[in-house]
Amino acid sequence: MRGLFTGLVGSLALAVGLIHSVFAQDEVKELNLYSSRHYQTDEALYGNFTAETGIRINRLEGRGDELIERIRNEGVNSPADVLITVDAGRLWRAEQAGIFAATTSAALDAAVPANLRHPDGLWYGFSTRARLIFYNKELIDPAGLEGYEDLADAKWRDQICIRSSSNIYNLSLMAALIAHHGEEAAEAWAKGVVANFARQPQGGDTDQIRAVAAGECGIAVANSYYFARLMRSTSLEDQAVVAKIGVVFPNQGDRGTHVNVSGAGMAKNAPNPEHARLFLEYLASEQAQRYFADGNNEYPAVASVAPNAALGELGAFTVDSLNVSALGRNQAAAQIAFDRAGWK
């Protein structure tokens, strides 16, 4: 009987060991990514990470502010490992909602310039967009159109097309101007730009560029990647737009051109923190940086990676060294200044 008991125990132990072995083999390595980037080209970005690491990405997509609120409401039970979103202003909103944990990574700190990441490692910028000035080459002599400040000059009366003041790109630009000049001077600038509107703000960045080409206005402000899309388009209509447009990289004579970031950070309650760190480090790799550059016409954040051919054609430029975290800190003041200036 004792031998039978011993045999049963041994068989049970062997069975349990086999079960554990099966589960270990079937254990899924995963990363839960909350993303407000809605670009088809990012599929290759994520697929390559899985191919390299064996870590499957479970992706939840939504608008940036909605995802931030969702993670905040999920609290300690949130499955989110990483939030990736567009604009330093939204990264700041996530930071203020308390949903990021600091990431300690020598690789990230070495790859991502200090001005494109949070000072305490709460988030990192992985691609940038420059906010440029575009003009109709037949209607506008760009002399005297060298910086953002020049947009408020009365010589450009009835010439400017630009998006609404609530647009996150404009809020961030205004936040940068506040950082450089103070709130009072920035508000005065906004009033000057409003006085120069060719029309009330409407549409997106591409609409502003098209309006300039059509002669509806002489000058527009838009992000670089919207114009690069038109440059790379095979549409004859888009090529006709590009042919009519001149480009100014603002403030090359002083502080440099304002840029914004698409960035990501590890969630505070990440169930897979090691996978989150690996993913963030992957986004700073040369291969991932090429996906950002070639897939969505963004400037790589890593200096050693060249931009795509379209952006390269626009030429090199000096970037404003202001830490982009200031764009979030000054966001509320920027909206107040816009409202006072009558910028709808």
**pLDDT reading at 20 higher than 50:** no
Q: Which of 109, 160, 131, 72 is nearest to 251 (CA)?
A: 131
pLDDT digits (tens, 9 = 90+) for 224-270: 999 999 999 999 999 999 999 999 999 999 999 999 999 999 999 99
Alpha-carbon distance values, 124 to 28, 66, 80, 120, 280 (Å): 27, 20, 17, 10, 8
**pLDDT reading at 8 higher than 80:** no
pLDDT digits (tens, 9 = 90+) for 146-176: 999 999 999 999 999 999 999 999 999 999 9
Half-sphere exposure of 90 (CA within 13 A, CB side): 27
Q: Quick one: tokens of 148?
A: 């953002």
Q: Which DSSP state fits 150?
A: G
pLDDT band at 26 (very low <50, low <70, confident <90, very high): very low
* Rounded Cα distance, 319 and 157, in Å: 28
For 28, other C-beta atoms within 10 Å of its C-beta total 8
| Contact criterion met (CB below 8 Å) for 151 and 195 | no
pLDDT band at 179 (very low <50, low <70, confident <90, very high): very high
* Rounded Cα distance, 83 and 96, in Å: 14
Q: What is the largest CA-CA distance in the chain?
A: 104
Left, alpha or beta for 319 (phi > 0: left; psi -120 to 50: alpha)? beta
* Rounded Cα distance, 288 and 36, in Å: 17
* Rounded Cα distance, 162 and 80, in Å: 35
**pLDDT reading at 1 higher than 70:** no
Of 36-50, 150-164, 254-268, 320-334, where does mean pLDDT reach its minimum?
A: 36-50
* Rounded Cα distance, 198 and 84, in Å: 35
Rounded-to-5 percentages of helix, strand, coil across the chain: 50, 15, 30
Q: Which residues contact 267 (CB under 8 A, 6 or more apart)?
A: 34, 71, 78, 80, 81, 82, 83, 99, 100, 101, 276
For 214, other C-beta atoms within 10 Å of its C-beta total 12
**pLDDT reading at 21 higher than 50:** no
Q: At residue 88, what is the residue type?
A: A
* Rounded Cα distance, 279 and 49, in Å: 7
* Rounded Cα distance, 176 and 45, in Å: 30
pLDDT digits (tens, 9 = 90+) for 65-111: 999 999 999 999 999 999 999 889 899 999 999 999 999 999 999 99
Domains and CATH numbers, the chain: 30-128+260-306 (3.40.190.10), 129-257+326-341 (3.40.190.10)
Q: How many helices and strands in the chain, by DSSP H and E?
A: 15, 10
pLDDT band at 15 (very low <50, low <70, confident <90, very high): very low
